[in-house]
Amino acid sequence: MCKNNGSPPMQDNNKAAIQDRMILLRRKYLAQLHERRPQITDFITACSMGGANDTVFQQMRQCAHNFAGSGASYGFSYISQTAADLETALDNRASIEKLRTLTEDLLQACNKALEMIDNMPKFSSEAELNSLEQIAQQFKPVILITDDDPVIRDLVVALFKREAEVMTANNGAKALDIIRHHKPALVLLDDGLADMRGIDLLEQVKKDPLTAKIPVIMLTANKKPLDIELAKSIGAFDYVTKPFELRYLAEKVAPVLKNLNRTLLIADNDAAILDLFTEKFKGTGVRLLLAKNGLEAVEIIGQNKVKLAILDWIMPGMDGPAVLQRIRSNPDTKYIPVLFLTSKRKETDIKKAYAMGATGYIIKPFIPDQVVSRSLKLLGITETAAKPA
């Protein structure tokens, strides 16, 4: 049994880091609510004064559509419900009186949510907030090489830098910090580190449910059969002994790199949805590309080998069905799986989506982890190489 060095449990640190990132996302969402609140009050005024024209109606419908789709995913189900009721009423051209009442309900729901911001945990400094912001915005999968030999570190960086962002650590403490905050898609780990054995670090990683599924390949001069068996029994993905040939290491890493080359496009004009998935797909080995509208989505698909697309239905410039039509009409992209993620719930819309060739249809509000799980299956990412939910 490997000894505990007395440091705080890694699981607690991981949970704290995840909580910090989710707090950041919720604060950003509430900031967006605050920015959109004048649009709600202006619509109420326009309804009262009889000045709500088609442009005003369309703008309010888009606002309600966004709120309906993202509120519950951030823990504000009452925002999603009131916004969905308003969106339906706008679609059905309900009476001005009813629209005003529903809009007032939405304003009240937003105000209720905004009251929470003063009670949310504060970050200790602006630098900490910016650091978390950077963490939340990282899309590229990470490989961590932990070795006290700079030659080995440089070699691994050169070998795999095209497939992933390669981070380096020369000791176990730094490696643990990187694993906690970046959730690498793969760890290459020396056993003979200055501050701890790599096998001890491996055991800490595998005992923590939040990091247990990260594949770890031992990369070490230790050729003792008992240690090799111990590492594999703890959960090492593989064991490579030094000195090694580059081709041999590449072959050992290939099964994991296969998962790193999965590119997912998410197109949604609601920044809150994009922020949420940026966090949720972090560490899964997925290369995440984001589009704010249909035109951006088409451009991204044309420039990248996208393996899965998740599309909102209503987007400015070009809507989701038009993007799907472009995808299916191009021989190079016609077989890309496409999921709709939308608040449009009419049976006619669902049938239309499948008739056009949609792979799946998810109605907002949604459970983010279920969308992530479904996406990973469609991308063919194995459970071993994906971050635990």
What pLDDT digit, counting tens, does each position of 248-291 carry? 888 888 877 766 567 899 999 999 999 999 888 876 768 789 99
Q: Can you give the pLDDT at residue 279?
A: 85
Residue 71 in this model has a pLDDT that exceeds 90: no
pLDDT digits (tens, 9 = 90+) for 360-379: 999 988 899 899 989 988 88
Report whether 263 contacts 297 (CB < 8 A): no
Angle at 88 between CA 82 and CA 91, to 5 degrees: 140
Taking only the tens place, the pLDDT of each residue in 196-253 is 999 999 999 999 877 887 889 999 888 899 999 999 999 999 999 888 788 888 888 8
Q: What percent of the chain has pLDDT over 90?
A: 36
Classify the phi-psi angles of 183: left when phi > 0, otherwise alpha if psi is within -120 to 50, otherwise beta. left
**What is the average pLDDT score of the chain?**
82
Q: Can you give the pLDDT at residue 281?
A: 84
Say if residue 134's pLDDT is above 60.
no
pLDDT tens-digit map of 339-359: 999 988 899 999 999 999 999
Tell whether the model's pLDDT for residue 1 goes beyond 80.
Answer: no
Phi-psi region of 165 (alpha: psi -120 to 50; beta: other; left: phi over 0): beta
At residue 14 the predicted structure's pLDDT band, cuts being 50, 70 and 90, is: very low
Q: How many residues does the chain have?
A: 389
Q: List the domains of the chain with CATH numbers.
A: 17-119 (1.20.120), 137-258 (3.40.50.2300), 261-379 (3.40.50.2300)
| Ranges 14-23, 82-91, 125-134, most confident | 82-91
- The confidence score (pLDDT) of residue 201 equals 96
- Exposure on the CB side of residue 263, measured as CA atoms within 13 A: 15
